[in-house]
Structure 1
Amino acid sequence: MNGMHYLDARGPEGIRIYAIGDIHGHLDLLTTMHARIANEIARDLPADWRIIHLGDLVDRGPDSKGVIDFLIAATAHDNRNIVLTGNHDVGFLDFLAFPDPEGLFAHNGGAETARSYGVELSFSDRDSLHDGHAALVRAVPQSHIRFLRSLPYSASFGDFFFCHAGIKPGIPLDWQDPNDLIWIRSEFLDYPGLHPKVVVHGHTPQAEPEVMANRVNIDTGVFYSGALTALVIDGADKRLISVEAPGFSGWR
């Protein structure tokens, strides 16, 4: 069967890759993960490196604003920090443009995102929603909007393809629909064949990372579990690392 198997996949020569799963407003775990990665890089001195964030920066967790501030600063400091977009990031932008009370943002942690900007949102009636939306639009810096709008949907290094949700099987990687890259589930997750590259993704939370022949899912449900997970790729070597919130009573 044509395609790339996880066991055979290699990262690009001389570049260590760290791919971090869904963050969902957990600035504390993101900074802890970055500190761990920085310590590894200082210890091992790889020739080069990349840190890839697989999207869903916002919603559900307590500090989406802080996560965006941190990643804006990180990417400005060193462009080897790469941030991809997720469906929640797009949903945040959609809500800012039009306050849909039945949209993704309204029903999946958007109130927590607004609270991180100092805004209390109520979806109980049209007037409350209108007022809260107007306050949120005023509170969100234009730099955050520009940053979220600029995020790519995918990245590719060596034998690995990185995106938020997955790919549509059978479609060349360069031809993937952006909507699939941030939303797809069963058609991708249940596909038994190999892809042109091993797909590293998040989007579908699991109690433990999923390492399959054709894909690696590193979304460990940080907002349930208190655990943020990353895949490390260094040539032929692959390993998983995680950081956990102390005392967190989650599903792990």
Structure 2
Amino acid sequence: MSLFRWRKRPVETPTPLPPAEIPAGQRVYAIGDVHGRFDLLQRLIGKIEADNEARGAADTHVVMLGDLIDRGLQSREIVDFFLKQPPAFAQLHFVMGNHEEMLLKLIDDPDLDAMLHYLRYGGRELFESYGAPRAVLDAPDHFTPDTLPSYVPAAHRDFLSTMHDGVQFGDYFFTHAGIRPGVPLAQQERQDLRWIRAPFLESRADHGVVVVHGHSVSDAAELLPNRIGIDTGAYMTGVLTAIGLEGRDQWLLQTRGGD
């Protein structure tokens, strides 16, 4: 299964659905796939904090939609940030992405073939951030399969393993990849929540909630009646996107490389 595919989809006119709403008194921000770009994340959180303050008092939440790690060069810095100096203006929620899932599987069950696959899809950059030597990165088959995973500290492993499958606020459900159309939320499979693409992306059905997700890169945020996609490919485009939600209002915040 491909881990990455750039999708520029035509905008269709979907069937009108009831407007989604965040419960009164709450304000929710969601941040798309960071993929090792701590520089962009820091600036975006600063923008969110300023935006939140300007809008007045609320019960504020920030949802990280998964794939904090891999591809970019600052995976360790991101996890350190959330462990040591997390933002205090909001309650944080962490959703697990497919990249966190892949790393945790390698830690729990080291396997050379899986490691070689992971290294090709962003794992090399992660292990570089944890200080793994080039000799191991260049020739992982010369070492035992648990060599590279051993560079990830236990505290970081514990942090990643406690991430959620999804979080719901009012009429919005936040998960990494999406949901299987036609399946109730309580019966969704983790495989779909972390990996699904076409069946979800192409659906215009009423899911009963608006699904806010990352995972599938688009050239701009996609705000549709049944889903909101905010993965704008931060690690290669330099654009990290967040959405703010309050009542029936929706607004975007972005950090661009060079801001």
Cα separation, partners in 2 of 1:162 and 1:135, compared to 1, 3 Å? closer
Aligned pair 1:237/2:249, yes or no? yes
Provide the C-alpha distance between the structure 2 equivalents of 1:49 and 1:179, rounded to a whole number of angstroms.
29
Matched, 1:178 2:190: yes
Overall identity of the aligned pairs, in %: 35
* 1:110 to 2:116 alignment: no
Deviates more, 1:36-45 or 1:230-239: 36-45
In the TM superposition, 1:38-117 aligns within 5 A as 38-73=49-84, 80-97=91-108, 98-102=110-114, 104-117=117-130
User: 2:106·2:149 contact (CA, 8 Å) conserved in 1?
Assistant: no
Q: Which residue among 180, 202, 212 is the counterpart of 1:200? A: 212
Q: 2:161 aligns with which of 149, 153, 166?
A: 149
**Unaligned ranges ≥5, structure 2:** 1-14
What is the letter of the counterpart of residue 115 of structure 1?
E
1:223 aligns with 2:238: no
**Equivalent-residue separation in structure 1 for 2:107 and 2:237 (angstroms):** 29
Match of 1:34 among 42, 45, 66: 45
Q: Report SS of the residue matched to 1:30.
A: helix
Give per-residue Cα distances to partners, 1:10-45, cap 9 Å, x unaligned.
111111110000010111111111111111222222
User: Is this contact kept in 2: 1:16–1:48, CA < 8 A?
Assistant: yes
C-alpha distance 99-74 of structure 1, shift in aligned 2 (>3 A): farther
Alpha-carbon separation, structure 2, partners of 1:100 and 1:85: 23
Aligned twin of 2:137:
122
Q: 1:48 to 1:23 in 2, by over 3 A?
A: same
Cα distance per residue 1:115-163 (max 9 Å; x no partner): 00011343646214x37x42540x3211111111111110000110000
Question: How many residues are matched?
Answer: 241
Structure 1 stretches of 4+ with a deviation exceeding 4 A read 74-79
Q: Name the CA shift for 1:72/1:125 in 2 (closer, same or farther; >3 Å).
A: closer
Q: Which runs of 5+ in 1 are unaligned?
A: 248-252
> CA-atom RMSD, angstroms?
2.2
